[in-house]
Amino acid sequence: MSPTRREFLQLACAGAATAAVAATGGCSSPNCPATPTRPWTPTNRLRIPAQLKPAAGDVKQFDLRLQTGSTKFLPGKPVPTWGVNGSYLGPTLRMRTGDNVRMNVQNALPEETTVHWHGMRLPARMDGGPHQPIPTGHPWEPSWRVINDASTLWYHPHPHGTTALHVFRGVAGLIIVDDPVSENAPLPHDYGVDDIPCILQDRSIDTDGQVHFDTEPNFGQMGTDMLVNGTMNAYLPVATTKVRLRLLNASNARLYHLGLSDGRSFHLIANDSGLLPKPVELAQLSLGPAERAEIIISLSPSEKVTLRTVAGDERIDAGTFSILELRAHTDLTASPALPETLGGAGPVDVPNDARVRHFKLQGHDAINGNQMDMARIDEVVTANTVEIWEIENNVYSHNFHIHGSDFTILDKSGRPPAPYETGRKDTVHVREKSTVRVAVQFAGYTDPTQPYMYHCHILRHEDAGMMGQFVVVEPGNENSTPRHPSSSQESPR
Ligand code: C2O
Ligand code: CU
Ligand code: CU
């Protein structure tokens, strides 16, 4: 490992950190305080990721270069990071339902990785999971037709066993899918002006600007500095009476309980997989790793209000932190009133004969007695069906994600889901000692040899093996499908 990498990865709780960091926290172990390590001084204007909007044509091509760089989380203190078309994080990919898209991914990183399109419904060989590795110096060019409804999705690496580090170093970005419903709704949609991407990440950054990778044994990376789009101590000037935040939890492990500093309510308009049927008024919402929420906040002239997360009792939600200050101008342009209905899809319809599958989460590294094995297909699913997946968790917190599908939550330990998680989703928080049932709508792309993944999205758990594989097949082929995938080294063309 080069000295630069060693510095970059020095461990906050392993004695390598500076005295200042060691004394004030910077890790999530029960012995480390979960309080902010530096005062909340929102002096940095929120960075807005560039949009990538290829010209309309037969195929929209997105050029994505995975690269190394350096980033100043603290002024004047550059540190090595990874990013896409830049030094940290990546551009927001903008596409419409019905588009034919082609990704021209170039891996200029020093390690093999993958790029997964989280939440996108597409053929398994385009999915960017562990079976589609991109060696250093190589391209990968998946293409598909966008069938998702309007939604906020994201992309991130998914290499077998090293996802946590690759995401931590900075490879992640948003995907915004638009459709006629979202375009015609009277919702804020001026990107970076009243429609604001917010990629939430927690890091522990010491006084030299070094970012420490937390190896806390249960959950892994947790931090006490809150970044939004890579900006610490961030503020956002607002010039309209309503602002829409597209919140993505791109943290490795942290669970956020988000609300505003004065306790005012706001409206939720979308979950992971798209708009809700109608807005839901809330004062707080929880967002586990990989989940998204779109919210609308109303502001009065000249006021300041801060988005924050409050501490919970699950360890991955330790500490109360300010995240982003919203600063209203003295003159605000009136935004349209929120519509009564949003046009989003309702709950998944469950047929009486829906197949039920049980998944038991075990420790931090196994499901139904097995650790992830690239050479084993765990489940065979029939295309275009709805199934009930029952996720049982007798241990500590997990966040369960299913590729190639979307779902609605039926119940959590027998109770209906919270109002903030009633829409279509692809990832669900599973509290310790609880059972969650979801109704999953699978897409119609079949491939008996290339699997999709399901896994815990706490990245340390995913890397440790809390992941399984399923293939989607034509009706009637379930029993003849081989239980091992085709060679993972094949280039997906
Ligand atoms: Cu966001 Cu399988 O991942
Ligand atoms: Cu995914
Ligand atoms: Cu987990």
- Using CA atoms, how far residue 8 sits from 70, 71, 80, 165, 213, in Å, is 11, 12, 7, 11, 8
Token pair belonging to 185: 């709704």
Which ligand is in closest contact with the Cα of 119?
2
CB 123 within 8 A of CB 447: yes
Minimum-distance ligand 1 atom for the alpha carbon of 453: 2
Confidence class for position 483, pLDDT limits 50, 70, 90: confident
* Cα 209 to ligand 2 centroid, rounded to whole Å: 31
pLDDT tens-digit readout, 310-352: 999 999 999 999 999 999 999 999 999 999 999 999 999 999 9
225-228 vs 195-205, strand pairing mode? antiparallel
pLDDT at 1: 34
Which ligand is in closest contact with the Cα of 120?
2
What are the b/e assignments for 55-69, b being 16+ CB within 10 Å?
A: eeeeebebebbbbee
Token pair belonging to 134: 């991109």
Minimum-distance ligand 1 atom for the alpha carbon of 467: 2
CB 96 within 8 A of CB 146: yes
Token pair belonging to 233: 């101590």
* Cα 426 to ligand 2 centroid, rounded to whole Å: 8
Confidence class for position 303, pLDDT limits 50, 70, 90: very high
Which ligand is in closest contact with the Cα of 129?
1
- Cβ-proximal residues to 366 (8 Å cutoff; 6+ apart), any chain: 465, 466
Whether residue 407 has pLDDT greater than 70? yes
Minimum-distance ligand 1 atom for the alpha carbon of 129: 2
In the three-class reduction of DSSP (H, G, I as helix; E, B as strand; rest coil), residue 6 is classed as helix
Task: Name every protein residue with a CB atom under 6 angstroms from any ligand 1 atom.
Answer: 116, 118, 156, 158, 290, 401, 403, 453, 455, 457
* Cα 397 to ligand 3 centroid, rounded to whole Å: 6
- Mean pLDDT taken over the chain: 92
* Cα 185 to ligand 1 centroid, rounded to whole Å: 29
Minimum-distance ligand 1 atom for the alpha carbon of 427: 1
**Least confident piece of the model among 27-36, 153-162, 437-446:** 27-36
* Cα 493 to ligand 3 centroid, rounded to whole Å: 33
* Cα 134 to ligand 2 centroid, rounded to whole Å: 17
Confidence class for position 484, pLDDT limits 50, 70, 90: confident
- Cβ-proximal residues to 453 (8 Å cutoff; 6+ apart), any chain: 127, 129, 130, 158, 401, 403, 467, 468, 469, 470
Cβ neighbours around 341 below 10 Å, total: 11
Secondary-structure breakdown of the chain: helix, strand, coil percentages, each rounded to the nearest 5: 10, 45, 50
- Cβ-proximal residues to 14 (8 Å cutoff; 6+ apart), any chain: 215
* Cα 461 to ligand 3 centroid, rounded to whole Å: 5
Token pair belonging to 298: 């109303």
Whether residue 33 has pLDDT greater than 60? no
CB 420 within 8 A of CB 286: yes
* Cα 116 to ligand 1 centroid, rounded to whole Å: 7
Which ligand is in closest contact with the Cα of 462?
3
Minimum-distance ligand 1 atom for the alpha carbon of 454: 2
Cβ neighbours around 30 below 10 Å, total: 9
* Cα 340 to ligand 1 centroid, rounded to whole Å: 33
pLDDT at 488: 44
Strands (E), 299-354: 304-309, 321-333
Which ligand is in closest contact with the Cα of 156?
1
- Using CA atoms, how far residue 178 sits from 107, 146, 187, 476, in Å, is 28, 10, 12, 35
Distance, in Å, from the CA atom of 380 to the CA atom of 92, rounded to the nearest integer, reads 34
Q: Whose CA is nearest to atom 1 of ligand 1?
A: 118
Confidence class for position 490, pLDDT limits 50, 70, 90: very low
CB 266 within 8 A of CB 297: yes
* Cα 204 to ligand 3 centroid, rounded to whole Å: 21
* Cα 262 to ligand 1 centroid, rounded to whole Å: 34
Distance, in Å, from the CA atom of 429 to the CA atom of 314, rounded to the nearest integer, reads 11
E strand or H helix that includes residue 355: strand 355-362
Cβ neighbours around 295 below 10 Å, total: 23
The C-alpha angle with vertex 223 and arms to 220 and 226, in degrees rounded to 5, equals 140
- Using CA atoms, how far residue 274 sits from 155, 263, 439, 443, in Å, is 16, 26, 16, 16
Whether residue 25 has pLDDT greater than 50? no
Minimum-distance ligand 1 atom for the alpha carbon of 119: 1
pLDDT tens-digit readout, 201-259: 999 999 999 999 999 889 999 999 999 999 999 999 999 999 999 999 999 999 999 99
Whether residue 110 has pLDDT greater than 70? yes
- Cβ-proximal residues to 108 (8 Å cutoff; 6+ apart), any chain: 65, 66, 67, 68, 136, 137
Whether residue 280 has pLDDT greater than 80? yes
pLDDT at 376: 97
pLDDT at 267: 98
pLDDT at 5: 35
Which ligand is in closest contact with the Cα of 166?
1
Q: What is the share, in percent, of the chain residues with pLDDT greater than 90?
A: 88
- Cβ-proximal residues to 184 (8 Å cutoff; 6+ apart), any chain: none
Count of residues making up the chain:
493
pLDDT at 375: 96
Q: Whose CA is nearest to atom 3 of ligand 1?
A: 118
